[in-house]
Structure 1
Amino acid sequence: MKIELGEWPVSGNGVELGSDVELAIEARGLVKRFDGFTAVDGVDLSVPKGSIFGILGPNGAGKTTTLRILLGIIDPDEGFRRVLGSEQPMQVARRIGYLPEERGLYPAMKAYEAIAFLASLRGVPLKEGRRKGRELLEEHGLGYAADRQIRQMSKGMAQQVQLLGTLVHEPDLVVFDEPFSGLDALNQGKLERMIRALAERGTTVIFSTHVIAHAERLCDRIAIIAGGKVPFAGPVDVARDRLRPQVRLETRQHDGPWRAAIPADARHEGAFWYFTLPETGIEPLLRALIEGDAGILSLSIERAGLHDAFVAIAGEAAARALEESAGEPR
């Protein structure tokens, strides 16, 4: 008999934020309208310090507008925000690194100078910025391109230079808007490792994405956004636990009293039964199967993935829009 519990937790849905958790970002009731269109509609967010927080949603859902409000680039029509302890985000701009979705560097600048220029916008002296620029390029395997002009670089290399320029001043908070767009699989992996390293050093990272895999692999907490609203914000595990785990069961016996232990809507495909784990849990199910002489050959319990949770929370239409966004060329 083979029993696999997968990643299904024995108890608990995760730990919600307590009053003692220190927040890097807090927002309540954010609303932003453009020419009568409501782009952000009552958004609440709480981002703990040192966490990796993802804003997950399709193109046009309100992700970029939300980030720009948090950064103070635009002001909300309604609502409250506090970033790194300040209700005026621009006052703490030097403690923030921001990578916008629309990438842009001066094409005639050399790579290390581009990083130094971005550092100078955050208060780093130009001489120090140039030194740090060369150090960062060397550290990330681009030392050979330090004196190359941006116009001479591939799109992927130029994006890496801008990314390093976002981090050169060692910010306390890093905000990435669709950071994985346009990167190949190798550089996406590098960026994921960089984000984890930032969080390990205590830096707060918040990024927007329309790719579920990045949010599922990286994030401690997420906000699902669709149509300018946030129907869920919290730990990834809690989002996944909105759906009950699924059971796959293989038995030696095809019928018997044990059949009463599995739901009436269980699917029988080939040698396996598929059904939602009963709310009573695994122990009563196992007991009934054993006492009913089912002859368990294998039993696995799989927790719902973030994609299924997104569908359950945001709806089929938002999920289709998310998939279409992921398939668009960037």
Structure 2
Amino acid sequence: MRSSVAELRVAGLVKRYPGAASPAVDGVDLTVEQGEMLALLGPSGCGKTTTLRMIAGLIEPTAGTISVDGRDLTRTPVHKRGMGMVFQSFALLPHLTVAGNVAFGLDMRRLPAAEKKKRVAEILDRVRLGHLAERRIGQLSGGQQQRVALARALVVNPSVLLLDEPLSALDAQLRESLRTEIREMQQNAGITAVFVTHDQDEALSMADRVAVMDNGRVAQIGTPQEIYENPADVFVATFIGRANLFDGELTASGVVVPGLGTLPVTSDRAHGPVTALLRPQAVRLSADGLPGTVRSASYTGDQVAYQVDAAGHTFLVDTVAAGAPLTRGDAVHLAWDDTAVRVLPPRDAS
């Protein structure tokens, strides 16, 4: 069973609620290529779930268009959009069996009984739940329920798969294993997919591209590597990961930062106030360099996250765990490559 492959386009999407001071979604433009998985990432209230629900047809947009393969679906009812959706709560029906839940969407489409039975069996085998077809939902684990919800969305051969925080109800270890499973199923089916998450690790590990949202708008869209290594502004830099940020002045020789002197950088930005970004894993403990003192150390097994006071700043430093971690008060030196420094708009402009 292979889902149809489609391109999703969202143009100028707006949602205003009566009495609200500002739009929940404010002019979102997105193109999701055929077979691509796009993550909508952002904090609570940024508009990501509202955007997804407008794409699904569960919320009517105030303005803008939604199309699949050039066909305008903006005013098309939910059941005629040809999309599949996995909800955060799974939204499974407890009075039905596993097979009954998976078949629910096919019942709505009035498929012949033989075709329905065949498709349900195929998709349950794909998600490794064929042996549980007659179980009740209450008899399943959280991970099994998540697979049922995914099977129900995929069994209708959707043109686009939509997932609303599909792993948030599960424990951390199960979430990590299911990330890989969902990604593999999406790639094997060649299906176009959009998923909402507030978890940056989830977005970076699963998506082909990430759209970071803030205040109803897309702050930046790009591959996980582009978003992480070259964020558009301070908001994206701090939401997508941990960051050392230094306010300074961009000059011909680099960014002049109080206490640190001039950080050499290559930038085509106009000279003036900027914020310099240095990721924690780009900073290393060295035999010489900028002298500092360990403020704290957090050991996580494979990594040690340090806070180091140096030159009037507190540096975040991520290192591979090797031997006993340094302790508070230890003297160290910090170093980094000039190429690791990024120049962002000043903090108050982000």
TM-score range, shorter chain: 0.5 to 0.7
Q: Distance in 1 between matches of 2:209 and 2:110?
A: 31
| Contact kept in structure 2, 1:129 and 1:168, CA below 8 Å | no
Partner residue of 1:81 out of 66, 74, 93 = 66
Partner residue of 1:248 out of 253, 277, 284 = 284
2:334 maps to which residue? 273
Give the letter for the 2:51 counterpart.
T
- The 3-state SS of whatever aligns with 1:79 is strand
- The 3-state SS of whatever aligns with 2:134 is coil
Q: Do residues 222 (structure 1) and 210 (structure 2) align?
A: yes
How far 1:225 moved relative to its partner? 1.4
Shift in CA distance, 250/29, structure 1 to aligned 2, threshold 3 Å: same
| Contact kept in structure 2, 1:199 and 1:205, CA below 8 Å | no
Q: Do residues 62 (structure 1) and 123 (structure 2) align?
A: no
C-alpha deviations, 1:229-248, integer Å up to 9, x for none?
Answer: 22112222222213556342
How far 1:206 moved relative to its partner? 0.8
Give the letter for the 1:68 counterpart.
R
C-alpha deviations, 1:142-187, integer Å up to 9, x for none?
Answer: 2332111224434443332122111112323211011112123235
C-alpha deviations, 1:9-53, integer Å up to 9, x for none?
Answer: xxxxxxxxxxxxx97222222111112222111222121221110
1:45 maps to which residue? 30
Give the letter for the 2:7 counterpart.
A
Q: Do residues 196 (structure 1) and 184 (structure 2) align?
A: yes
Q: Distance in 2 between matches of 1:105 and 1:253?
A: 58
Shift in CA distance, 156/23, structure 1 to aligned 2, threshold 3 Å: closer
Instruction: Select the structure with the greater relative contact order (CA < 8 A; seq sep ≥ 6).
Output: 1
Give the letter for the 1:248 counterpart.
R
Give the letter for the 2:284 counterpart.
R
| Contact kept in structure 2, 1:96 and 1:174, CA below 8 Å | yes
Q: Distance in 1 between matches of 2:289 and 2:215?
A: 50
Q: Do residues 29 (structure 1) and 12 (structure 2) align?
A: yes
C-alpha deviations, 1:122-144, integer Å up to 9, x for none?
Answer: 56444322333233333433233
C-alpha deviations, 1:302-324, integer Å up to 9, x for none?
Answer: x99xxxx9xx8997xxxxxxxxx
Shift in CA distance, 151/182, structure 1 to aligned 2, threshold 3 Å: same
1:167 maps to which residue? 154
Shift in CA distance, 106/271, structure 1 to aligned 2, threshold 3 Å: closer
- The 3-state SS of whatever aligns with 1:45 is strand
C-alpha deviations, 1:82-109, integer Å up to 9, x for none?
Answer: 2332211537946321112343232221
Q: Do residues 106 (structure 1) and 93 (structure 2) align?
A: yes
| TM-score, normalization by structure 1 | 0.66
Q: Distance in 2 between matches of 1:313 and 1:213?
A: 27
| Contact kept in structure 1, 2:289 and 2:335, CA below 8 Å | no
| Contact kept in structure 2, 1:223 and 1:230, CA below 8 Å | yes
Q: Distance in 2 between matches of 1:254 and 1:235?
A: 33
1:136 maps to which residue? 123
Q: Which structure shows the higher helix fraction? A: 1
Q: Percent identity?
A: 32
Shift in CA distance, 123/229, structure 1 to aligned 2, threshold 3 Å: farther
Shift in CA distance, 188/96, structure 1 to aligned 2, threshold 3 Å: farther
2:234 maps to which residue? none
| Contact kept in structure 1, 2:10 and 2:67, CA below 8 Å | yes
Shift in CA distance, 232/314, structure 1 to aligned 2, threshold 3 Å: farther
What is the root-mean-square deviation in Å for CA atoms of aligned residues?
A: 3.5
Q: Which structure shows the higher strand fraction? A: 2
Shift in CA distance, 46/253, structure 1 to aligned 2, threshold 3 Å: closer
Report the count of equivalent residues.
Answer: 258
| Contact kept in structure 2, 1:156 and 1:182, CA below 8 Å | no
Shift in CA distance, 204/252, structure 1 to aligned 2, threshold 3 Å: same
Q: Distance in 2 between matches of 1:314 and 1:214?
A: 28
Q: Distance in 2 between matches of 1:23 and 1:104?
A: 26
Q: Distance in 2 between matches of 1:314 and 1:178?
A: 30
| Contact kept in structure 2, 1:55 and 1:224, CA below 8 Å | yes
Shift in CA distance, 254/110, structure 1 to aligned 2, threshold 3 Å: closer
- The 3-state SS of whatever aligns with 1:34 is coil
| TM-score, normalization by structure 2 | 0.63
1:139-150 equivalent positions in 2, closer than 5 A: 139-150=126-137
Shift in CA distance, 270/133, structure 1 to aligned 2, threshold 3 Å: farther
Q: Distance in 1 between matches of 2:288 and 2:165?
A: 50
Q: Distance in 2 between matches of 1:66 and 1:73?
A: 10
